[in-house]
Structure 1
Amino acid sequence: MVEVNQTNKARVMPKPVPFIIIYAFCERFCSIGIAAILVIFLNTKIGLSEDKSVAVLHYYYFAAYFFGIFGAIIADTFLGRFKTLFYGMSLLGGLGNVLLVIGTVAFLSYLMNSFTTIALILISFGAGCLEPNLPAYSGDQYRLPLEEKGFSLCIGLLFVMHNAARVLAMIIGPIVRSKTKCFGDDDCYPAVFGIFVVAKVCAILSILIGKRHAVIITPKDNMLVKVCGCIWFALKRKISGPRQANKSHWLDYSVERYGAQIVSDTKRVVHVIALMPPLIIVATLYFQQVSRWVFQSRQMDGTLGNYQIKPDQVPLVNAISVVIFVPLCEYVFNPLLSKFGIKSNLHRVILGGFLSASAFIVAALVQFKVENSEPKSLHMVWQVPQHMILALGEVLVYVQILQFAYTQAPAQMKSVLQAFFSMIIGGGNLIVALIASNKFFDSMAYEYLMFAGIVYAAMIVFTILALRYKYADVNDKTNNDFEMYESDDEGTALQNMHKNRK
């Protein structure tokens, strides 16, 4: 057995982390692969218009991220993060993958519409279990703040896996779809969706193998109910309760009922959540690269030698850029930015948000040129700058806000705060879906400018809030509201160490 004092050495990658990273890659390959071809599938197979296809795709994304709050509640109050990932994302989501395959088989085409609807609901619910819990489950394997550098690397690797999966899915999906023929059709969606089922099986095997090495935290109390109750009781007391001496914070009215620790944790949750609303507007941008920007590509020339680039392959530029930018940010850009005073997670989120809005200015300029040129005369290479700028902005926002939300959350509310970030992304997609369902502009260029403008405004608000935020101490890895068990000798050493600290 590993001695307890040996665990004082900071680890870069604990034993379960490589399995978690493989799991993340396989699961992302499934969910992102489906999303990558969904808009064209809906348009060509289901028969929806371009606008309705874009709307359905963004409703799908909204559901996936909206369900994150339920995934977080299930994890933080009932099943724990591991079981929520396994049963929610892997098994229920896997059932959705299987239904997609069945629904696209030619002689079962009468099932296509209903099975596609059910499948997308199951897959989006599974994604809701993944989004808040995967970063939090990864963070559980680290002792913060001692291993903060390792955790930062892990979050970066998860984001790299996210985009590496996008790269592979965007290469394989369109090629298999267009080059494979089955059931007399010129394309073969059952083959594409079948590949995602195989990847799902690999994900299940990976998370099960990694379990024996993992630190698994299970809740023994419903902390979300306590936090909500604390907020409600404090508001009620402050507004209509008996007159009391002025409190330094409105949540202090709940100390007598809920205790100082719950009130302190609730303050931290409220302070973090207060930063989130402007990011809903920023989140309207990131998924348009696989919807609106794909239809922009369809108006352009994709000739590359003897190869014809497919519109749904152009987002590869964004995915590859993200894979490159993650290590560049970690080892080059972030240290360089620190010399200019951009040191904290929130400072980098601010920069990323403004960069993301700028990408849509570039997209609008390209769209104006497309609309004022002969059809298919402008090459898709003109889209490269907008994808690269958006990718850099996305890395700065996504990686930094995940680290921020995990480290600033109380120990028993890690997944819930991750879920609020997921809901931000979901809210952004809902806004895009509503706009796509109600065509406001004849020219897409003006819509891109509109998105850029509202994101600039939202980032000004976020900047004001972020600069006023006071960071909390992150050294609360252990908590009496949780029970911890591990199944390998390294985990046993960690468990003993936690007990000794108590």
Structure 2
Amino acid sequence: MADKKEEKDESAVAEVAAYDNELEEEETPYPYYVFFILGNEFCERYAYYGMRSILVIFLTYFLGFDKDTATVIYHVFAALCYFFPLIGGIVADSYWGKVNTIIYISFVYFLGMVLMTVSAVPQINSGQDVPGTINTVIALVALFVIAVGTGGIKPCVSALGGDQFAENETGKKQLSSFFALFYGSINAGSLLSTFISPLLRELKCLNRADCYAIAFLIPAVLMLVAIGAFLFGKSQYKEKPVSGNIFTEFCGASWSGLRGKCKAETKDKEHFLDYADQEKFSLKRLTEFKYVYPIIVMYLPMPFFWALFDMQGSRFVLTATQMDGVFGSVTIKPDQMQIMNPILILAFLPLFQSLIYPCFEKIGFSMTPLRKMSGGQLITALA
């Protein structure tokens, strides 16, 4: 009798839990204030790519760098843009939080865009119509400040967007649709700016046959709009409390494991992280960190791919300046040749989201984020 009563109690608890889950699913509204984040991302990406698309032409034909030096500056700038996300992530997780980090560093970003615009005004060089050393110095400082800005907010915006969704099945579906829109907003901004900025630089202004100042001013204005869009939704954003940075914790655990293994008299443990200080690092965290190293090995070739991929904004553009750019009845400017990347992404994104992935789901093959990444890497390797 007692066993039957326990079974009934367990069944009742399960029914209540199932009902609560259903109720929770029904009461999970879409957080529409994430569209402020999407608007911010669109404007910021327009600002970034609007400046970067014409950068190597600006360095070569306005500031007078030779092609090799212009290429080096371009790629050092690109490298810094992907170094400062480490700093931005540490600051956000350990000190300021994501929202404040985005706001504060966005103003630094805006300052960099303003400096870039000023560097394109030749008259600051003793009132002459020819740019000089002052223009070059301001431009290089501007590029560093922009790298700090775009890199500093890069790890925070997408993560903050993800934090707005519930951790249930409805929330997961909403999150997937959000990141599709997020990725689409990135490439929509890239597409428009890569098309428009080369047109703007060919206008005539400031007693010259070019107008880089206007071409840089529009991205600066869009960066200011991006800050405004983000601030509009500030009061509604959900933010996880500051709790320390996972990257610094990972580095600390790895260092502790290496030191522990070197000092250990017997080295019979399976992984070097097993030697880490387990009073400082939990067993669960150390187990998670062990999975990182195989992923690092998988990603080791990636810098070589991206180094080549980023050349489409430097050497490919400089090569295109030696061509007429005529494609049928259309003339493509050298710095517009990068436009195919966002065009193809925007074309294939809805195709995959609405047709290809659902087809895989229907045949019982769930397209998890890991499978999507692996498939994309395989296709890229074959290409």
Shorter-chain TM-score bucket reads 0.7 to 0.9
Once the two structures are TM-superposed, the CA of residue 59 in structure 1 deviates from its matched residue by 1.5
1:77–1:224 CA contact under 8 A, matched in 2: no
- Consecutive unaligned residues of structure 2, counting only runs of 5 or more, are 1-20, 126-131
Kindly provide the CA deviation profile for residues 3-47 of structure 1, in whole angstroms up to 9, marking residues without a partner as x.
x99754475841331110000001101111111000111110111
Once the two structures are TM-superposed, the CA of residue 223 in structure 1 deviates from its matched residue by 4.8
2:84–2:148 CA contact under 8 A, matched in 1: yes
Output the CA distance in 2 between the equivalents of 1:145 and 1:208. 28
Output the CA distance in 2 between the equivalents of 1:271 and 1:14. 36
- 2:241 aligned counterpart, secondary structure: strand
Change (3 A) 1:223 1:176: closer
Equivalent position amino acid for 2:318 in 1: F
User: What is residue 205 of structure 2 aligned with on the other side?
Assistant: 182
**Correspondence 1:330 to 2:353:** yes
Percent of aligned positions that are identical = 30
User: What is residue 191 of structure 1 aligned with on the other side?
Assistant: 214
- 2:240 aligned counterpart, secondary structure: strand
Once the two structures are TM-superposed, the CA of residue 206 in structure 1 deviates from its matched residue by 0.8
Change (3 A) 1:241 1:9: farther
Please provide the CA RMSD for this pair. 2.8
Output the CA distance in 1 between the equivalents of 2:314 and 2:359. 34
Corresponding residue to 2:175 among 134, 146, 151: 151
Once the two structures are TM-superposed, the CA of residue 51 in structure 1 deviates from its matched residue by 3.0
Equivalent position amino acid for 1:277 in 2: L
Change (3 A) 1:329 1:231: same
Corresponding residue to 1:294 among 307, 311, 317: 317
Output the CA distance in 2 between the equivalents of 1:215 and 1:71. 19
Q: TM-score, normalised by structure 1?
A: 0.64
Kindly provide the CA deviation profile for residues 94-147 of structure 1, in whole angstroms up to 9, marking residues without a partner as x.
000111111111211442101101100010111111222222111111233532
Once the two structures are TM-superposed, the CA of residue 222 in structure 1 deviates from its matched residue by 5.2
Output the CA distance in 2 between the equivalents of 1:12 and 1:177. 45
User: What is residue 44 of structure 2 aligned with on the other side?
Assistant: 27
Change (3 A) 1:12 1:152: farther
User: What is residue 134 of structure 1 aligned with on the other side?
Assistant: 157
Q: TM-score, normalised by structure 2?
A: 0.83
Kindly provide the CA deviation profile for residues 448-485 of structure 1, in whole angstroms up to 9, marking residues without a partner as x.
xxxxxxxxxxxxxxxxxxxxxxxxxxxxxxxxxxxxxx
User: What is residue 437 of structure 1 aligned with on the other side?
Assistant: none
Once the two structures are TM-superposed, the CA of residue 274 in structure 1 deviates from its matched residue by 4.3
User: What is residue 107 of structure 1 aligned with on the other side?
Assistant: 123
Change (3 A) 1:258 1:38: same
Corresponding residue to 2:114 among 94, 98, 110: 98
Once the two structures are TM-superposed, the CA of residue 265 in structure 1 deviates from its matched residue by 4.1
Change (3 A) 1:288 1:57: same
The count of corresponding residues between Structure 1 and Structure 2 is 354
1:26–1:199 CA contact under 8 A, matched in 2: yes
Counterparts of residues 242-391 of structure 1 (less than 5 Å): 242-243=265-266, 246-247=268-269, 249-254=271-276, 255-270=278-293, 272-303=295-326, 308-336=331-359, 343-357=367-381
Corresponding residue to 2:87 among 43, 51, 70: 70
Equivalent position amino acid for 2:36 in 1: F
- Larger RCO (CA within 8 A; separation ≥ 6): 1
Once the two structures are TM-superposed, the CA of residue 270 in structure 1 deviates from its matched residue by 4.3
2:163–2:240 CA contact under 8 A, matched in 1: yes
Equivalent position amino acid for 2:142 in 1: A
Change (3 A) 1:223 1:293: closer
Output the CA distance in 2 between the equivalents of 1:240 and 1:305. 70
2:57–2:318 CA contact under 8 A, matched in 1: no
Once the two structures are TM-superposed, the CA of residue 218 in structure 1 deviates from its matched residue by 3.0
2:90–2:248 CA contact under 8 A, matched in 1: no
- Consecutive unaligned residues of structure 1, counting only runs of 5 or more, are 360-502
Equivalent position amino acid for 1:91 in 2: F
Kindly provide the CA deviation profile for residues 331-375 of structure 1, in whole angstroms up to 9, marking residues without a partner as x.
22334466596944344334433443555xxxxxxxxxxxxxxxx
Once the two structures are TM-superposed, the CA of residue 240 in structure 1 deviates from its matched residue by 1.9
Output the CA distance in 1 between the equivalents of 2:182 and 2:379. 22
